[in-house]
Structure 1
Amino acid sequence: MGRITFYEERNFGGRSYDCSSDCTDLTSYMSHCYSCRVHSGCFMVYDRANYMGSQYFLRRGEYPDCMSMGMSGFFRSCRMIPMYRGSYRMRIYERENFGGQMYEMMDDCDNIMDRYRMSNCMSCHVMDGHWLMYEQPHYRGRMMYFWPGEYRNFSNMGWGSGMRFMSMRRIMDSWY
């Protein structure tokens, strides 16, 4: 079980809101959220309501200013990431709708170009585990959270057409 506290102002000032589950719109509790503390668990926070926009992965710790994390606005929604202790398995595909080259992964990959000679990852099927995928090699750039399911087209996930990923890592239970 995770717990996060959001604060209206930077450096944990102003009113606060404690959260232990998913929240589609934090502005229904306070006008804006510029800082937070993760007391336990892991969360994805979003700069738009309904889990849209840019995503940021947070684990236990203090985050005194969302702007220093690269956010253009403030925290608008959050999703708790459940702890997972099983195996990890994901198939990545070079093209949308599971087209092109396919590789099955069971561990982190800091650069799909180096490991698989694959220039794009534009769809995936997560069979086991929870994953973070990054738009650039070496876990850089925008990230997106994936849980078990089929993801045929990343462009319909709020980032526009042509979204692709170049590195991916497992969300491990040791991060909690």
Structure 2
Amino acid sequence: MIDFHLSIIENYGSDVLDDPNMEYLRKYWINISQLKADWAELLDQKFVLGQDCFAVPTRCDAESRLGGAIFAEEEFSEFKRMSTDMGAKSFAIVEYIGQDQWNEFESISFFRFVFPLDITWAEMVCSCSIAYDVFERPIRTYFVLSDNGCVGKYVDSDALHPYELCFPVAREG
């Protein structure tokens, strides 16, 4: 919790967070040292950061789609199914703030969570105001990645040109 309070994310001071928000953060917030230790290498393999931009490695079969919010409920169900089928147990959601490395951050003022794949839609999206802001207010940009790196996406919530890059691409049949 200290890491969250040190992040000083605008409008999320400890004086405005109620019990449901604090419980959500206790369960799902990932601090910077954990992000570096547990996720930085995997994120770097799937999302190559550069000076104010990123790329998906050419060997990654990614599909560009109209974006906006991180997930629609049906899309989240498909993400969970694909991730579970490929052996994943959890996934991370990390806000993109223009960082150019996954193990060094000029600012720690960004959202970052790790969720188990058995989380329900209601718990993840509707259980508190922080969850609502992250998942239902498409005003930020996020990287989403399963713990084995097999399923992921980049979601750009730009109001004028929202898009996302998803991998692997779900196939019919």
- Is TM more than 0.5 here? no
TM norm structure 1: 0.27
**Structure in which a larger fraction of residues adopt helix:** 2
RCO comparison, higher one (Cα < 8 Å, 6+): 2
